[in-house]
Structures are given as C-alpha cells and as structure tokens.
C-alpha cells in the first residue's frame, strides 16, 4: 500500500491501535492458503458443507446479521436514514450510505475535499456544521477516498477487508483480520461498482471465495460472480456441483423447507440480496 488515500485511511485505523496489520493470514487469503483452508474446513465439518450449507458459521455471525435462518431470507433490515429528516447533521447519523456522505461533501466543497488532509477536512466540517464527524462516518469518508484515488481495493485483501468493515457501519480494526460476512461484502462491492468500474484481482477473488466457502455457499450472488471460479475450486465435489445446478435462479425459489439443501442455499442468497437491496439506498 503506497498511495496517499490508502495510507491516510490506514493511519486513521491505527489511532489507538498497537502492532502492525497482519500481512498474511495462513489458510485464509493467498491462493495456496485458501486451498489449505478449504480442505481443512471441509475435513472439520466432515462433508456437512455440501448438505447443510451456511449453518455451521451462523452462531459466530448472529450479532452482526441477526442469524440468517433457512426460509427467513433476512439479514436484518438496516434502519433507513432520511438525510432530510434525520436528527442532527448527516455526519452524526447512524448507517448513512457512503455515497450520501460523499455527495454531501462534494456539494459543499466541490471535489477539493478528496485531496485535503484528514485533519483539515474534519476541522472544516466542524466549523461549517458545528459537529464532529462520528467514528463510523469518518471511516466511510476515508474509505470512499480510497476507492476514488486508489486501485488497491480491487487488488489487495487488506484494503478490501477494511473498506468492507467501514461501509457496513463498523470501525475497522487495524491490527487484525476481521470476520466479514458475504452480505457485507456484496453490499460493499455494489457501492464500489458505482464509484469505479474495475476488474477484481486474483487476491480479491480468492478472499471472497474463502469467505463464501467458510459460510457454506456453493453459488455466489450475481454481484460477486467474479469469484465463482475460485469458489468452485474450493467446493469441488459431486454433491456441491449437483446442488449448484439445482439452484438455477435462487431468487425465484420459494423457500419453505429448512431441511432441503437447495432451499437453504436459496434462502441465504435471497437474504444477501435483500440486505444489499435494503441497505444500498442513498436517501438523497
């Protein structure tokens, strides 16, 4: 990571943190590591992944995505934030769309704000809006700057992961790898695609596939289809291939049987779709 926007984003994350960001996490991220993780996960679950996908990791994600259960197709609907009717300045509101913050700044300051030093930006906002930007929105603003002024989101997992955390209303932790869900990844990619149209590098494809495999998916939502080939390599077995072929268009399946692997997969993909649909509104 060498560009100014990314360095400033990570400097913000370093505030109050000790120790460097781990550059590699064995068994999760790099091409060889992903293969190893896939084998280890499959062995650990003794083949359960192909039959009851996405159940084994739900417990660890309950607090963040409200327990996506088969048939419910819900990740937990985000609170709608109305920029015009919200209480207090936009910069203090919860769950604000990253592009709403970006548009607010561009309307007020033109595109100059993108190149300002962070301290200058925060002080200017404080002077003009009589408020301090909350931590979540600071990170969203800095993450948007990374997408505008850098290509690293599309090529390096460290940057990709921290932008995912920031865009999903979490304060990223600089010094450790974080657990991000497929819904959070899909939403972030949806937002990023509106900012810049770029191809995703092999490292990001591998990262997305590893997260999806860990959660038990055999098919990715359309917005993440760039990583499907990597996921196929991880879940390469006869049962997974049969399951994927039966899914067809998972958004059209009526989910009713919590014991049916096809319904389980479809329910989770529908949940990701709804999470993105509900959350990806800028409320201009």
The reported pLDDT for the residue numbered 2 is 61
Q: List, for residues 203-260, the tens digit of each pLDDT value.
A: 999 999 999 999 999 999 999 999 999 999 998 887 888 999 999 999 999 999 989 9
- Integer angstrom CA distances of residue 114 from 5, 49, 105, 151, 243: 9, 44, 9, 15, 46
Q: Check: CB of residue 218 under 8 Å from CB of residue 244.
A: yes
Find the farthest-apart pair of alpha carbons in the chain and give their distance in angstroms, rounded: 62
The reported pLDDT for the residue numbered 226 is 98
What number of CA atoms fall less than 13 Å from residue 163's CA on the CB side?
32
- Please give, one letter per residue, the 3-state secondary structure of 226-255: HHHHHHHHHCCCHHHHHHHHHHCCHHHCCC
Q: List, for residues 264-275, the tens digit of each pLDDT value.
A: 999 999 999 999
Give start and end residues of each alpha helix (H) in the chain: 4-14, 31-45, 48-51, 58-65, 98-109, 118-129, 135-149, 157-167, 182-195, 202-215, 228-234, 238-247, 261-279
Q: List, for residues 30-46, the tens digit of each pLDDT value.
A: 233 333 433 443 443 33
Q: Is the pTM of this model over 0.85?
A: no
Residue 176 banded pLDDT, cuts 50, 70, 90: confident
What number of CA atoms fall less than 13 Å from residue 11's CA on the CB side?
12
Q: Check: CB of residue 143 under 8 Å from CB of residue 163.
A: yes
Higher pLDDT, 6 or 75: 6
Q: CA-to-CA distance for 57 and 43, rounded, in angstroms?
A: 15
Residue 5 banded pLDDT, cuts 50, 70, 90: confident
The reported pLDDT for the residue numbered 1 is 53
User: Residue 169 carries which DSSP code?
Assistant: T
Average pLDDT score over the chain:
78
User: Residue 77 carries which DSSP code?
Assistant: P
Lowest mean pLDDT among 47-51, 113-117, 119-123, 145-149: 47-51
Residue 9 banded pLDDT, cuts 50, 70, 90: confident
Q: Give the start-to-end residue ranges of the domains of the chain.
A: 4-279
Q: What percent of the chain has pLDDT over 70?
A: 72
The reported pLDDT for the residue numbered 70 is 34
Q: Check: CB of residue 190 under 8 Å from CB of residue 223.
A: yes
Torsion of CA 165, 169, 174, 179, to 10 degrees: -40
Query: Is pLDDT of 159 > 60?
Result: yes
Q: List, for residues 85-121, the tens digit of each pLDDT value.
A: 334 589 999 899 999 999 999 999 999 999 999 999 9
The reported pLDDT for the residue numbered 83 is 37
């Amino acid at each position: 990571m060498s560009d100014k926007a990314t360095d400033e984003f990570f400097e913000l994350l370093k505030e109050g943190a000790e120790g460097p960001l781990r550059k590699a996490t064995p068994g999760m991220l790099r091409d060889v590591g992903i293969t190893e993780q896939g084998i280890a996960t499959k062995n650990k679950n003794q083949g359960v992944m192909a039959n009851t996908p996405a159940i084994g990791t739900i417990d660890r994600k309950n607090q963040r995505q409200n327990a996506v259960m088969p048939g419910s197709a819900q990740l937990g609907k985000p609170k709608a934030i109305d920029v015009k009717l919200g209480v207090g300045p936009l910069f203090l509101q919860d769950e604000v769309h990253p592009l709403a913050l970006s548009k607010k700044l561009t309307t007020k300051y033109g595109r100059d704000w993108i190149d300002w030093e962070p301290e200058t930006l925060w002080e200017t906002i404080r002077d003009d809006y009589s408020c301090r930007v909350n931590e979540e929105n600071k990170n969203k603003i800095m993450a948007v700057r990374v997408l505008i002024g850098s290509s690293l989101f599309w090529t390096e997992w460290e940057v990709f992961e921290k932008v995912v955390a920031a865009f999903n209303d979490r304060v990223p932790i600089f010094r450790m790898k974080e657990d991000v869900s497929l819904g959070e990844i899909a939403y972030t990619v949806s937002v990023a695609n509106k900012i810049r149209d770029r191809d995703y590098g092999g490292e990001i494809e591998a990262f997305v596939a590893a997260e999806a495999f860990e959660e038990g998916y055999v098919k990715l939502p359309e917005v993440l289809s760039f990583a499907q080939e990597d996921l196929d390599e991880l879940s390469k077995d006869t049962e997974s291939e049969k399951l994927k072929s039966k899914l067809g268009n998972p958004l059209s399946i009526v989910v009713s049987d919590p014991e049916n692997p096809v319904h389980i997969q479809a329910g989770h993909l529908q949940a990701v779709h709804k999470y993105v649909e509900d959350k990806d509104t800028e409320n201009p």
